[in-house]
Amino acid sequence: MNVLQLKSFYAYYGEKKIINDMDMKIEKNKITAIIGPSGCGKSTFLLSLNRMLEESGGRAAGNILFNGKDIYSMPKEEIRKRIGIVFQKPAPFPFSIYKNLTYAPVYYGIRDKSRLREIAIDKLKISGLYDEVKDELGMSALKLSGGQQQRLCIARALTVEPEVLLLDEPCSALDVKNTANIEKMLRNLAGDYTIVIVTHNLYQAKRISDYTAFMLDGELIEYDETARMFSSPQNRRTREYIEGIYG
Amino acid sequence: MKKISSIFFNAWILFSGLLALLSASFIFIYILKNGFKAMTWEFILSNPAGIPLGSEGGILPAIIGSLLLMLISCVFASILAISTAVYIVFYCKSKRMESLAHVVIQCMAGVPSIILGLFGYTFMVANLKMGRSLISAGLTLGIMIFPFIQVRVEKTFREFSSSMLLSSYALGTTKLYTLLRLVLPQSIRDIVSAVTLAGGFAMGAAAPIILTGAVIFAPIPKSLSSPVMALPFHLYILTGEGISIEKSYGTALVLILLLFIINLVSISLTFWRKEATK
Ligand SMILES: Nc1ncnc2c1ncn2[C@@H]1O[C@H](COP(=O)(O)OP(=O)(O)OP(=O)(O)O)[C@@H](O)[C@H]1O
Ligand SMILES: [Mg+2]
């Protein structure tokens, strides 16, 4: 089943066309990896999926259906609640770790202190940050290391219980051990959440994703099951990209 | 060659710094020295007396009047200024509207304060029949400091990290929630210090209130529509009419001390907030 479907979708920054005529279906409760060279429009693609594109000064044309409904005919707040995103550069709020995690739940009307605490701890455990910060939930989130901030932002995105989670290179600031933890977490989440992850690391795409999409200059070049994509890419440019990095 | 120019540059910086410091302390010490004699509890806590009025007695109504004027102008101007800044930075979609607002605000900042007084007099005192009163004078001062606060608040909002804003919107929150829970708490220090500075500026201004509400003598105002005494106007009368030089210096000293205290409060307030958010 598809959660998200793009139909001749275009994205622009000003007059510049970043995404060109994209058609794509994203499977529910699977992990889809987006790969492609720097600047090809991967982040723009992710931003389009939950209407954050318009907040960063971009413009969209064409359709994106979320469970069959056009996201541009739904309130953008609702779309963003149901499709969460973790940006390429982590941006924790300048509050305590705890308050970062209760910021959104409070907005959605949860006032009960013990419930809030439960959410915070639960999401920290999922993102693998809990053991490192369990005694310092009151500490400013800005004092965390880059990788810890990244995991805090993942936890924060989970606090609103989204159905889809978009991740933009979540492991670029992490070491091997934390990367492995995040990958394990994503695999665990995949049963209940649809995950779209942009990554520069082809090994990672291969390890964790069910489907892989290769983008080049704003176009979807090839999109297939991950195993097939890496063993026998159909398109010459996909092959060159994959071999270029592997070989 | 490089060395000489850097020595010259450093000396120049040192000189300018000293000059600024010295002139400020000179003014302060000069007024302290001349006003010190007049500073008694009686001067601070009693009404003006004597013939001509002001040659004896104190300045209590003027102190209270000035504080009230500052309060009214600050409340009025900051509500207006924060709303304008919020609109321009977060809601205004059209570039033309934005530049129009900026032009208007710049023009307001450029209007001489006596003209603002004249405006307050014809518009509020005469047309709206508010009379020469605390409220007319307070609002006129508010108009005067509005651009001052607006420009600073807008700058604070503009400098707010856009990636944090985006993170907040990405959680599905509205602009309003983001403003109230994220932007304002983070900007409150800068806003408070802008408002306090502006309040000091309002408190020291005589021109806008001469026509709109300040009088030579009035008791402590009982309502918003009472006329009011104010320190700068009192100072102007005492000196201009040659009533009492000693009392003028005393009044000046009180005014300066009040401004000093207000700024100190503002600094400690903002410092306290900084500690609290750590
Ligand atoms: N806010 C913006 N305003 C204008 N142009 C932008 C903006 N963000 C991105 N672009 C442009 O859009 C193009 C695609 O950028 P995008 O960030 O989507 O690439 P990417 O594939 O994510 O690259 P990377 O792997 O380096 O993160 C780039 O040419 C970039 O210059
Ligand atoms: Mg990117």
Q: Number of Cβ pairs closer than 8 Å across A and B?
A: 66
What does the alpha-carbon distance between residue B186 and residue B180 come to, in Å, rounded to a whole number? 10
DSSP summary character for residue B122: I
Q: Are A52 and B177 a contacting pair at CB < 8 A?
A: no
Residue nearest to atom 17 of ligand 1 (CA): A43
pLDDT at B99: 96
Q: Are A28 and A191 spatial neighbours (Cβ–Cβ below 8 Å)?
A: no
Is the confidence at residue B276, as pLDDT, over 70?
A: no
What does the alpha-carbon distance between residue B193 and residue B152 come to, in Å, rounded to a whole number? 10
Is the confidence at residue B271, as pLDDT, over 80?
A: no
- Which among A34, A43, A54, A214 is the best mutation to test ligand 1's pocket, defined by most ligand atoms within 8 Å of the CB? A43
pLDDT at A9: 96
pLDDT band for position B277 (50/70/90)?
low
pLDDT band for position A163 (50/70/90)?
very high
DSSP summary character for residue B214: B
Q: Are A156 and B171 a contacting pair at CB < 8 A?
A: yes
Share of chain A above pLDDT 70, in %: 99
Residue A135, class by beta-carbon neighbours within 10 Å (0-12 exposed, 13-18 middle, 19+ buried)? Answer: exposed
Name the residue of chain A whose CA is nearest to B174's CA: A77
Is the confidence at residue A70, as pLDDT, over 60?
A: yes
What does the alpha-carbon distance between residue A58 and residue A13 come to, in Å, rounded to a whole number? 5
Using a CB–CB cut-off of 8 Å, the residues of A that contact B are 50, 52, 55-56, 77-82, 84-85, 87, 89, 91-95, 103-104, 106-107, 140, 153, 156-157, 159-160
pLDDT at B274: 63
Interface test with A, best of B95, B171, B174, B176 (most A CBs within 10 A): B171
**Strand B56-57 vs strand B48-49: parallel, antiparallel, or unpaired?**
antiparallel
Backbone angles phi, psi at B103, to 5 degrees: -60, -45
Supply A228's token pair.
Answer: 């097939």
Q: Residue A209: left (phi > 0), alpha (psi -120 to 50), or beta?
A: beta
pLDDT band for position A185 (50/70/90)?
confident
- Write the residue in A55, A80, A140 that is nearest to B172 by C-beta: A80
pLDDT band for position B157 (50/70/90)?
very high
Judge if the upstream peptide bond of residue B52 is cis by omega within 30 degrees of 0: yes
pLDDT at B158: 95
Q: What angle do CA A201, A206, A208 make, to 5 degrees?
A: 95
pLDDT band for position A66 (50/70/90)?
very high
What does the alpha-carbon distance between residue B59 and residue B45 come to, in Å, rounded to a whole number? 7
pLDDT at B76: 97
- Length of chain A, please? 247
Q: What angle do CA B3, B9, B13 make, to 5 degrees?
A: 145
Share of chain B above pLDDT 70, in %: 97
Average pLDDT over every residue of A132-151: 92
Supply B121's token pair.
Answer: 């007099």
Residue A198, class by beta-carbon neighbours within 10 Å (0-12 exposed, 13-18 middle, 19+ buried)? Answer: buried
Average pLDDT over every residue of B243-263: 92
pLDDT band for position B13 (50/70/90)?
very high
pLDDT at A191: 86
pLDDT at B175: 94
pLDDT band for position B242 (50/70/90)?
confident
Q: Are B70 and B86 spatial neighbours (Cβ–Cβ below 8 Å)?
A: no
**For the whole model, what pTM was predicted?**
0.86
Average pLDDT over every residue of A165-182: 89
**Stretch (H or E) spanning B256:** helix B245-277
Average pLDDT, chain B: 92
Give the three-state DSSP class for A66: strand
Q: Which domains does chain A have, with CATH numbers?
A: 2-90+164-246 (3.40.50.300)
Is the confidence at residue A221, as pLDDT, over 60?
A: yes
pLDDT at A33: 96
Give the three-state DSSP class for B100: helix
pLDDT at A247: 54
CA–centroid distance for B2 within its chain: 44
Closest ligand by atom to A34 CA: 1
- Which among A22, A34, A42, A201 is the best mutation to test ligand 1's pocket, defined by most ligand atoms within 8 Å of the CB? A42
pLDDT band for position B275 (50/70/90)?
low
